Chain A
Amino acid sequence: MSLWESFDKNEISILLFVVVGYAFLFLLPKKFTREITLLFLLWGFTIGVLFDFTIGGGLVDFFKLNDSNGYRLFDFLYYLLFAPFSYLFIYFYESFRINKKTFIWYIVAWAGIGVGMQWVFTLVEIVQFQKGYKIPFSFPIFLMTQTITGLYYEFVFSRFKVLKSGLKKPRGY
């Protein structure tokens, strides 16, 4: 089992994305309590792992990561990118104080960002589709996962101290 197939643009791109993604994470003002930050980082990472090993591997195997169908170090680094993605999703959810009127727009916009990022990943050959998979198929997946994330965040927000400041902000409904 090797660490990578051949060290070229996809591996370099992943390193860049990881640096940028985690820089955002550390540079943005800390908004959430530590457990909420941890929870949503793990939430995003798990969604990445779950989908890749369910539709990107095994019998279905719609795409390959980093030039190979095997599991490499850079595949793991790619999944790590989903953690800041999930964190930024709830960060801006809170910053824009998303409510019932803006929920749909917010989810559609993020699903668009998700598909856009995946398109960039195909350009730099981190992701290569196979077996007839096309990028629009990812749109419903992002819609579904982000709707669940938004609803789960609302659920957690209603029951726990989510923000570091401790203030429960009015959500507009």
Chain B
Amino acid sequence: MAFAVFFFASWLVLTLFLVIPKKLSIIENTFVFLIILVISINWTWIIYEEIKLIKSTEETMEYTAFLLFRSVIIPMILVTQLNLLCRANKFTKSLLILSTSLAILLLLTFLSTFFNMANYIKWNIGYDAIYYLSLHVIAYYSLKFFRKSAQSEVKYS
């Protein structure tokens, strides 16, 4: 069940990304995706395997669902919301996009515990909310950094 749900979620977020009008160029989208992917992988490894605050499943299919969540769903949701955020011209709309993105991530996190893909030991969903919020900030500033590095080259060369 976990695999089917998380595979569907991966497919949904990928196709959603394909159909939305994009405000970022393909190289900007790739850059942000890669940054979030690296953080997501490192974060889960440190929290799960090194400090052991969460225990991951030992069932193969649930583990595959966990890999999909970590390596596809989280970075794709972050990139998708960033494209929508950059199109939003009102503060309330931006807030709505940010809240929806956070809510989806928290819902999937809840499902991951529900399906025993992750078992919290010294952790709770509130910490996840802080982590996801930080990811949104990182995604936004990594895009700004990438754009700035391209602009400064044009300026000085």
Contact = CB atoms under 8 A, between A and B. Distances in A.
Contacts of A53: 41-42, 45
A4 B88 CA distance: 47
Chain B, interface residues (CB within 8 Å), range: 20 to 34
Interface string A33-57: 1111011001101100110011001
Q: Identify whether the interface residues of A are mostly helix, strand, loop, or mixed.
A: helix
Interface of A: 1, 33-36, 38-39, 42-43, 45-46, 49-50, 53-54, 57-59, 70-71, 152, 155-156, 159-160, 164
Q: Identify whether the interface residues of B are mostly helix, strand, loop, or mixed.
A: helix
Interface of B: 25-27, 30-31, 34-35, 37-38, 41-42, 45-46, 49-51, 56, 58, 60, 63, 67, 71, 146, 149-150, 152-153, 157
A81 B25 CA distance: 27
B38 A49 contact: yes
A130 to B, nearest CB: 16
Nearest to A53: B41
Contacts of B149: 34-35, 38
A50 B37 CA distance: 8
Nearest to A34: B153
